């Protein structure tokens, strides 16, 4: 989250919200004079109730884009239907390989030679939304889940801001579950892609 805030992206970050009152990102955001809020999922009877409360709170800020950063809860249709095509996530694997958790351990167990990260639009199907950009790292024989995670994180810090920038500069569109880029991006030598207008949450 801090990496995104400090990346000089176009638009304005209007809110940093968390379901965890103790999330470190909240303090970081406050120190940077960004609005924060906590919608504690433990205070709701079920996932849908929480998602509706979260959606209601975010809607007050009229965000053009919602960026997930370390948000570990699966969002339901109750939330996503209100922000269709406006929610981005970064996942620590080369999707569709290794969705869900423990991606680095699973990559090592599987014997793959390449691992990495993926920025994608969020849909109701876990880690299966349209892919915007991916970055790969080699898997070394001496790797542990921790060493592999460290190298992947460096790539996450590169590609997530790029994808967000493309979104904010309205250079992305989705067709048949695939992300399409406009001519400007397609003609560049960049490996990356974005989407949206002015405000992020």
- 27: which 2 tokens? 């303090």
| Residue 183 in this model has a pLDDT that exceeds 90 | no
Sheet strands (E) in 11-97: 12-13, 16-18, 36-38, 66-67, 87-91
Per-residue CA distances from 200 to 60, 115, 143, 181 (Å): 12, 29, 36, 21
pLDDT of amino acid 195? 36
As a whole-number percent, the residues of the chain with pLDDT over 90 amount to: 85
Query: Considering the entire predicted model, what is its pTM?
Result: 0.88
Per domain, the residue ranges of the chain are 2-200
From the list 117, 132, 135, the residue with the least C-alpha distance to 173 is: 132
pLDDT of amino acid 156? 98
Mean pLDDT to the nearest integer, 113-121: 98
Instruction: Among 3.40.50.170, 3.40.630.40, 1.10.3720.10, 3.20.180.10, name the CATH number for the domain at 2-200.
Output: 3.40.50.170
- 162: which 2 tokens? 């790029």
* Catalytic entry in 41, 91, 115, 157: 91
- 67: which 2 tokens? 């960026």
- Residue 91 is among the residues annotated as catalytic for this protein: yes
């Amino acid at each position: 989250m801090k990496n995104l805030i400090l990346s000089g992206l176009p638009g304005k970050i209007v809110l940093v919200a968390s379901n965890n009152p103790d999330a470190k990102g909240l303090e970081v955001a406050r120190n940077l004079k960004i609005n924060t809020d906590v919608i504690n999922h433990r205070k709701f009877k079920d996932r849908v109730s929480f998602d509706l409360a979260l959606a209601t709170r975010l809607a007050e800020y009229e965000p053009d884009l919602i960026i997930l950063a370390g948000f570990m809860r699966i969002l339901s249709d109750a939330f996503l239907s209100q922000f269709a095509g406006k929610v981005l996530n970064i996942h620590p694997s080369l999707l569709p390989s290794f969705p869900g958790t423990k991606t680095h351990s699973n990559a090592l167990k599987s014997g793959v030679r390449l691992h990495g990260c993926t920025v994608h639009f969020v849909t109701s199907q876990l880690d299966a939304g349209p892919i915007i950009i991916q970055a790969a790292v080699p898997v070394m024989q001496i790797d542990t889940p921790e060493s592999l995670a460290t190298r992947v994180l460096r790539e996450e810090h590169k590609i997530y801001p790029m994808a967000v920038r493309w979104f904010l500069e309205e250079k992305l569109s989705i067709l048949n579950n695939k992300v399409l880029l406009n001519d400007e991006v397609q003609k560049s030598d960049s490996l990356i892609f974005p989407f949206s207008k002015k405000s992020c949450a």
